[in-house]
Copies of this chain bind each other. A is one copy, B any other.
């Protein structure tokens, strides 16, 4: 049936010889409709190829079937796989996924709020660890929201992600098991809870091994490749060198490896390095990076499921779902070099 205009509920009603109300009920609350009638309606729907007009429905209901996903940067290597999980789950429940990216610009963040005023979107997934609405964050009326990947720092918003603290613990435990005792931590000073927690895992691991914290080998960066490289330079200007670098994320770890490589060191012979996230590049760099895997697709799926639940019964549900981080052993870690042990 390729008529020029799509069939409406009225066309279906006419063919099924019922009222439009009955058609609507047959679709959305079939139990309120007699079996025989439901059959007629379904046939008419098949004949006309009817699809309910989502615009009209949203207008009437005052709520849409779109979920807005906002990230600072769509190109983030962590983002796309999470998006896959989000989209799959959304679509399985009849929702569509809208995307936006703020580039850390509060003005752009605010523009996305308009989607909610006009009911273009029903819920919000935040990929960013902070509400992207600048100083209006406080006053803005937020739609039902769920944070992914990083806990949302300033919003009291439910969150789905990996257990950062446990992940970091696994990394530091690996290094300890290999015999390392002087393990540097290259962190991220931005106010992101995820990074704070990874640091906590590091501290806890050292503590459990009876190693006193040594702040001379704990540095703060900003999670970029460049900051990893910079951290190496800083460390070499101090009086104490570690035998291993535990990095807050893979980008930093890559930077550390670049920095060490530039100084002529071999990894893992001279220094061991671990990352966090298991970004797609981690397997390609040389040596391949031992890191903590984020179950990204699962995170996306669960976050969307949580949001849809929130939308349907409005109750706050759990505030945090932590998934298990897995250690991925590759080639950037070995036992500490003799040279350093002697000291």
Contact = CB atoms under 8 A, between A and B. Distances in A.
Interface stretch (A17-25, A127-135, A233-241, A279-287): A279-287
B74 A80 contact: yes
Contacts of A83: 74-75, 99
Contact of A75 (B6, B56, B80, B100): B80
Contacts of A74: 80, 83-84, 87
Interface string A53-66: 11110110000101
A141 B77 CA distance: 35
Contacts of A75: 80-81, 83-84
Q: Is the interface of A mostly helix, strand, loop or mixed?
A: mixed
A93 interface: no
A319 interface: no
A190 interface: no
B54 A120 contact: yes
B54 A56 contact: no
Given A87-B74, A91-B111, A285-B286, A117 B80 contact: no
A101 B120 contact: no
A191 interface: no
A59 B53 contact: yes
A63 to B, nearest CB: 9
Contacts of A73: 84
A97 B76 CA distance: 18
B99 A51 contact: no
A170 B103 CA distance: 34
B59 A118 contact: no
A312 interface: no
A87 B59 contact: no
A330 interface: no
A36 interface: no
27 contacts: A2-B141, A6-B117, A6-B118, A53-B117, A53-B118, A54-B118, A54-B120, A55-B59, A55-B64, A55-B118, A55-B120, A73-B84, A74-B87, A75-B80, A75-B81, A76-B80, A83-B99, A87-B101, A91-B111, A97-B98, A97-B100, A98-B99, A99-B99, A254-B284, A281-B281, A284-B284, A284-B285
